[in-house]
């Protein structure tokens, strides 16, 4: 018995009428089933073509299909042909055996012959021989579908060799020597622990050398994701970003950096000693981060930004060597990457797209031209910029946490593998987690054509269905002069030149036509003004649900419901959201989404409306909040709480204050590495916001959400009544007023309701 067979059982789908023991054909089929079961092949019988199609759509464990040609007695056998065609659109490798007899062989159409892998003529061949052929076909299929590294890992883990190398738990046996260890072993299971290996296992190759099955897996992933080279990363895209920037930029060289960057980009600037010149994105009335506008990326604008950068002094080469752009944004806005390449390519040779939340884009035509590895890698030559993409494979694909990939397309001023790998080895562990690497491998296999488009189609379809349900409910509520939630999306889409309300649009058009999601200039819904048509597109699977309260002019309405209250309510019923701002709640429709999952969300939003309208006691709908803050919230209802928070937001103008703060680029007094060196030397002090005016931040100040640096290390906090400190003071006051709804701001210590930060002496 092979390793794969031990790990997952063999399962065949038999599409046939129940065998009739009274006929020669039926007896032969019964004997074939018995022999297959004798070879440890489980049989799932389906007695209708419609049922078989449903099974093939829902059960990826099917490893062989046995189709009785007599199941379809129509003249053209169209239903059989439809089943086979549908199967091959979803899976090109699974073996298909057509069961028939010689009398009907001549009537089998060519298309069926092309879709089938083998034929079973009952009862001419022996059942033992036929079951052997089926078993061999299943084994070949199982070998073929396993990607290189995972297949090798599986085989090694099942070889049952004694371990004389690290890790010390020796395949899990050490855990069995204590009660706590045994509980750990039983929870995670033998397979995970036996596959937790060491670099000493030469059969699997080396992540640092990119050799053996690990290197084969990386080359396989490069083919799937459209790269010249791909690197598996086991410490998340934070490491991936640091690897790229450390390989590309060094001290006193200029890097163009999206201000909407992950903190790992800040850390990479610090580690490399690079001088950041920031590219400031737009922001709308909801505080949703938009794109960096095309005019900001022009050669003239880049030169002006560098000239205005106080860190670029005498002796600094003003030519930027690297640019990093976040694509897509947290809220799902994606760039026309072809346009960005053309614009930034006039100023810089190396483009780096942080696509941590966007690893699926290559696999659906809806996103064409809107991801770093767009088009064919063969068409990317030395006349174009070198392009890097970092993708958090674990975020929206199927991989373990911390699984990430770096994709590279070499162009101008490329960094050869040998040089690039020095940076990679600087950040990678010599004891990488093999399960994480294997999950990168499996994720590549899952996204390889045709399954990648099928999986992404399903996510997009479910997101559209959810959006249309919410939109329809909103429309119906408005018809009764009532309130409900909405989604951040176009209120109508153009179909054949006619504006169709979003909830009435054909889902097939929404799923396949990018123009339905593109931001057109001066549309009120997106709020980014006169943006270049087609430059930016909303990703349908990133759904921002809007709570009422924000007017189209950016002013708060008379009636509003803070999104933080909605999030707290949802959390109490077991629904954890991705992100919450003043009036938006972000939900991600990953490839793991189901109708039941988003149906539960719709019901929860309806329940919130019911409980808000009835002012249900907080003791009933937010019991943990009341228990933790009895004095503050005792006796209040859900509507009471929402109205009080909304009034505070009006008073402090938190949304508008946030927009002003993030629209202001602070003055840089020191580079990130200079600020960090002072931090290490303890040339810092801890101050309150009241003491921070004119002081220089020692660490990054990053409010979550949106997760964009308000202040970078070495930047001046500005005046006491300026937008930066004004926003932080508004958050401080809010946090003191509403315990349980405090903000998470990296770089800020909340000590008994008073904000503190580290500044340079």
What angle (nearest 5°) sits at the alpha carbon of residue 371, between those of residues 355 and 239? 25
Q: Is residue 215 part of a domain?
A: no
Q: Are strands 536-538 and 333-335 parallel, antiparallel or unpaired?
A: antiparallel
627, 647, 667 — which closes off a domain?
647
| Claim to verify: residue 628 and residue 749 sit in the same structural domain | no
CA 412 vs. chain centroid, Å, equals: 29
Q: Write down the pLDDT at residue 534.
A: 96
Average pLDDT, integer, range 498-516: 97
Average pLDDT, integer, range 276-302: 95
Asked whether the predicted pLDDT for residue 652 surpasses 70, the reply is: yes
Let me know: does 77 contact 47? Beta carbons within 8 Å.
no
Least reliable range by pLDDT among 161-165, 300-304, 560-564: 161-165
Nearest C-alpha neighbor of 46 from the set 35, 57, 37: 57
Name the one residue in this structure whose structure tokens are 């002796």. 315
Q: Write down the pLDDT at residue 103.
A: 58
Q: Are strands 64-68 and 684-688 parallel, antiparallel or unpaired?
A: unpaired
pLDDT tens figures, 424-449 = 999 999 999 999 999 999 999 999 98
Q: Write down the pLDDT at residue 706.
A: 65
Phi, psi angle pair for 715, to nearest 5° = -100, 150
Rounded to an integer, what distance in angstroms lies between the CA atom of residue 260 and that of residue 139? Answer: 49
pLDDT tens figures, 111-153 = 888 899 988 888 778 899 999 999 999 999 998 899 999 999 9
Q: Is residue 137 part of a domain?
A: yes
Q: Is residue 230 part of a domain?
A: no
Average pLDDT, integer, range 716-721: 96
| Claim to verify: residue 495 and residue 526 sit in the same structural domain | yes
User: How many independent structural domains does the chain possess?
Assistant: 5
Let me know: does 403 contact 391? Beta carbons within 8 Å.
no
Average pLDDT, integer, range 724-746: 94
Residue 653 DSSP class: T
Nearest C-alpha neighbor of 273 from the set 666, 667, 675: 675
CB atoms within 10 A of CB 323: 26
| Claim to verify: residue 397 and residue 473 sit in the same structural domain | no
124, 145, 166 — which closes off a domain?
145
Residue 387's SS3 state is strand
| Claim to verify: residue 463 and residue 582 sit in the same structural domain | yes
Q: Is residue 755 part of a domain?
A: yes
Rounded to an integer, what distance in angstroms lies between the CA atom of residue 529 and that of residue 284? Answer: 9
% of the chain beyond a pLDDT of 90: 80
- CB-facing half-sphere around the CA of 239: CA atoms within 13 A: 21
CATH code of 493's domain = 3.90.1150.10
Asked whether the predicted pLDDT for residue 540 surpasses 50, the reply is: yes
Let me know: does 256 contact 296? Beta carbons within 8 Å.
no
Compute the residue count for the chain: 761
Q: What is the DSSP string of 580-610?
A: E-SSEEEEE--TT--HHHHHHHHHHHHHHHH
Average pLDDT, integer, range 360-385: 96
> Could you write out the three-class secondary structure of 679-739?
HHCCCEEEEEHHHCCCCEECCCEEEECCCCCCECCCEECCCCCCHHHHHHHHHHHHHHHCC
Average pLDDT, integer, range 334-346: 98
Q: Tell which phi-psi region holds residue 534, choosing left (phi > 0), alpha (psi between -120 and 50) or beta.
A: left
pLDDT tens figures, 85-104 = 999 988 999 999 999 876 56
Q: Write down the pLDDT at residue 402.
A: 96
CB atoms within 10 A of CB 379: 9
| Claim to verify: residue 163 and residue 140 sit in the same structural domain | no
- CB-facing half-sphere around the CA of 354: CA atoms within 13 A: 28
Q: Is residue 382 part of a domain?
A: yes
pLDDT tens figures, 166-184 = 788 888 889 999 999 999 9
Token pair for 332:
């799902």
- CB-facing half-sphere around the CA of 561: CA atoms within 13 A: 25
Rounded to an integer, what distance in angstroms lies between the CA atom of residue 171 and that of residue 157? Answer: 9
Residue 497 DSSP class: T
What's the pLDDT band for 1 if we cut at 50, 70, 90? very low
Token pair for 383:
């006349």
pLDDT tens figures, 470-491 = 999 999 999 999 999 999 999 9
Residue 13 contacts by C-beta under 8 Å, 6 or more apart in sequence?
Answer: 44, 46, 52, 55, 56, 59, 62, 64, 65, 66
Residue 552 contacts by C-beta under 8 Å, 6 or more apart in sequence?
Answer: 285, 524
| Claim to verify: residue 562 and residue 604 sit in the same structural domain | yes
Q: Is the pTM of this model over 0.85?
A: yes
Q: Write down the pLDDT at residue 9.
A: 82
| Claim to verify: residue 397 and residue 487 sit in the same structural domain | no
Residue 504 DSSP class: G
What's the pLDDT band for 232 if we cut at 50, 70, 90? very high
Token pair for 552:
């189209």
Q: Write down the pLDDT at residue 569.
A: 98
CATH code of 369's domain = 3.40.640.10
Q: What is the mean pLDDT of the chain?
A: 93
Least reliable range by pLDDT among 96-105, 274-283, 323-332, 492-501: 96-105
176-200 per-residue burial string, b: 16 or more CB within 10 A, e: under 16: eeeeeeeeebeeeeeeebbbbbebe
Q: Is residue 541 part of a domain?
A: yes
Residue 332's SS3 state is coil
Rounded to an integer, what distance in angstroms lies between the CA atom of residue 116 and that of residue 138? Answer: 14
Token pair for 326:
């976040």
Rounded to an integer, what distance in angstroms lies between the CA atom of residue 651 and that of residue 657? Answer: 11
Rounded to an integer, what distance in angstroms lies between the CA atom of residue 697 and that of residue 218? Answer: 40
Asked whether the predicted pLDDT for residue 319 surpasses 50, the reply is: yes
Residue 549's SS3 state is coil
CB atoms within 10 A of CB 287: 20
Token pair for 128:
């033992």
Q: Is residue 203 part of a domain?
A: no
Least reliable range by pLDDT among 151-155, 393-397, 692-696: 151-155
Asked whether the predicted pLDDT for residue 497 surpasses 80, the reply is: yes
**Full domain range(s) for residue 336:** 235-428
Residue 514's SS3 state is helix
CB atoms within 10 A of CB 82: 14
Let me know: does 361 contact 371? Beta carbons within 8 Å.
yes
Q: Write down the pLDDT at residue 5.
A: 42
Average pLDDT, integer, range 406-412: 98
pLDDT tens figures, 2-48 = 444 445 689 999 999 888 888 888 899 999 999 999 999 999 999 99
What's the pLDDT band for 154 if we cut at 50, 70, 90? confident
| Claim to verify: residue 321 and residue 424 sit in the same structural domain | yes
Rounded to an integer, what distance in angstroms lies between the CA atom of residue 729 and that of residue 11? Answer: 62
Rounded to an integer, what distance in angstroms lies between the CA atom of residue 611 and that of residue 641? Answer: 12
Q: Is residue 288 part of a domain?
A: yes
| Claim to verify: residue 186 and residue 258 sit in the same structural domain | no
Asked whether the predicted pLDDT for residue 300 surpasses 90, the reply is: yes
Name beta bridge partners: 757.
Answer: 687
Rounded to an integer, what distance in angstroms lies between the CA atom of residue 204 and that of residue 288? Answer: 45
Token pair for 159:
């070889």
| Claim to verify: residue 141 and residue 156 sit in the same structural domain | no
Asked whether the predicted pLDDT for residue 423 surpasses 70, the reply is: yes
CATH code of 101's domain = 3.40.50.2300
106, 121, 145 — which closes off a domain?
145
Token pair for 747:
């770089």
Q: CA dist 114 to 63, 84, 93, 449, Å?
A: 18, 10, 12, 19
Query: 723-737 and 638-652 are packed helices; what angle lies between their axes, rounded to 10 degrees?
Result: 160
Q: Are strands 64-68 and 96-100 parallel, antiparallel or unpaired?
A: parallel
Let me know: does 437 contact 212? Beta carbons within 8 Å.
no
| Claim to verify: residue 101 and residue 163 sit in the same structural domain | no
Token pair for 146:
């396993």
| Claim to verify: residue 314 and residue 407 sit in the same structural domain | yes
Residue 434's SS3 state is helix
CATH code of 717's domain = 3.90.100.10
Name beta bridge partners: 233.
Answer: 404
Q: Write down the pLDDT at residue 592.
A: 83
């Amino acid at each position: 018995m092979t390793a794969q067979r031990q790990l997952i059982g063999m399962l065949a789908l038999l599409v046939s009428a129940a065998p009739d023991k009274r006929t020669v054909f039926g007896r032969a089929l019964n004997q074939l089933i018995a022999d297959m079961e004798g070879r440890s092949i489980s049989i799932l019988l389906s007695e209708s073509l419609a049922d078989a199609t449903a099974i093939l759509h829902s059960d990826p464990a099917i490893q062989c299909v046995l189709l009785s040609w007599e199941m379809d007695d129509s003249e053209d056998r169209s239903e059989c042909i439809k089943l086979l065609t549908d199967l091959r659109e979803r899976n090109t490798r699974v073996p298909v055996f057509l069961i028939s007899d010689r009398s009907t062989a001549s009537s089998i159409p060519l298309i069926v012959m092309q879709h089938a892998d083998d034929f079973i003529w009952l009862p001419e061949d022996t059942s033992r021989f036929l079951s052997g052929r089926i078993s061999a076909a299943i084994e070949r299929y199982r070998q073929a579908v396993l990607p290189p590294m995972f297949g090798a890992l599986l085989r090694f883990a099942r070889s049952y060799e004694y371990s004389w190398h690290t890790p010390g738990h020796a395949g899990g046996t050490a855990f069995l020597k204590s009660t706590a260890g045994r509980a750990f072993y039983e929870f995670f299971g033998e397979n995970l622990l036996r596959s937790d290996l060491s670099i000493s296992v030469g059969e699997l190759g080396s992540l640092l050398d990119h050799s053996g099955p690990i290197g084969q897996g990386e080359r396989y992933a490069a083919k799937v994701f459209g790269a010249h080279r791909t690197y598996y990363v086991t410490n998340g895209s934070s490491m991936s970003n640091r690897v790229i920037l450390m390989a590309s930029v060094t001290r006193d060289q200029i890097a163009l950096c999206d201000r909407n960057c992950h903190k790992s980009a800040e850390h990479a600037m610090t580690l490399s000693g690079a001088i950041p010149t920031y590219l400031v994105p737009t922001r709308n009335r909801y505080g949703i981060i938009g794109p960096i506008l095309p005019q900001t990326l022009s050669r003239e604008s880049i030169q002006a930004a560098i000239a205005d950068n106080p860190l670029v002094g005498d002796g600094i080469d003003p030519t930027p060597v690297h640019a990093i752009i976040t694509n897509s944004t947290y809220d799902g806005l994606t760039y026309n990457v072809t346009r960005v390449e053309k614009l930034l390519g006039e100023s810089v040779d190396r483009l780096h797209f942080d696509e941590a939340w966007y690893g699926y884009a290559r696999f659906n035509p809806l996103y064409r031209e809107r991801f770093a590895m767009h088009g064919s890698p063969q068409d990317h030559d030395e006349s174009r910029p070198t392009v890097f993409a970092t993708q958090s494979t674990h975020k929206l694909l199927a991989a373990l946490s911390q699984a990430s990939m770096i994709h590279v397309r070499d162009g101008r001023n490329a960094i050869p593998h040998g040089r690039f790998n020095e940076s990679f080895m600087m950040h990678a562990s010599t004891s990488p987690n093999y399960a994480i690497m294997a999950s990168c491998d499996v994720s590549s296999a899952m996204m390889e054509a045709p399954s990648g488009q099928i999986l992404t189609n399903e996510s997009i379809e479910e997101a559209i269905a959810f959006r249309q349900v919410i939109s329809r409910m909103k429309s119906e509520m408005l018809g009764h002069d009532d309130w409900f939630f909405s989604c951040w999306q176009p209120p109508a889409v153009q179909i054949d030149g006619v504006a169709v309300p979003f909830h009435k649009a054909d889902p097939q058009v929404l799923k396949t036509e990018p123009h339905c999601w593109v931001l057109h200039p001066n549309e009120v819904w997106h709020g980014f003004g006169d943006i270049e048509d087609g430059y930016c597109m909303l990703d349908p699977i990133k759904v921002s649900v809007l709570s009422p309260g924000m007017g189209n002019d950016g002013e708060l309405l008379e009636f509003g419901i803070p999104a933080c209250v909605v999030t707290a309510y949802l959390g109490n019923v077991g629904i954890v959201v991705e992100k919450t701002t003043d009036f938006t709640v972000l939900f991600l429709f990953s490839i793991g989404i189901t109708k039941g999952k988003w149906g539960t969300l719709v019901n929860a939003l309806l329940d919130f409306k019911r409980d808000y309208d009835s002012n249900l006691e907080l003791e009933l709908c937010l019991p943990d909040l009341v228990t933790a803050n009895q004095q503050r919230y005792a006796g209040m209802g859900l509507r009471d709480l929402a109205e009080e928070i909304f009034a505070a937001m009006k008073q402090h103008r938190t949304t508008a204050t946030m927009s002003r703060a993030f629209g202001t680029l602070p003055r840089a007094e020191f580079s990130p590495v200079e600020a960090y060196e002072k931090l290490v030397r303890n040339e810092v002090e801890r101050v309150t916001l009241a003491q921070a005016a004119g002081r220089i931040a020692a660490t990054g100040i990053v409010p979550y959400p949106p997760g964009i640096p308000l202040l970078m290390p070495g930047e001046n906090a500005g005046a006491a009544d300026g937008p930066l400190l004004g926003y932080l003071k508004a958050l401080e006051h809010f946090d003191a007023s509403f315990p349980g709804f405090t903000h998470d701001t990296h770089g800020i210590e909340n000590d008994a309701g008073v904000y503190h930060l580290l500044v340079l002496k």
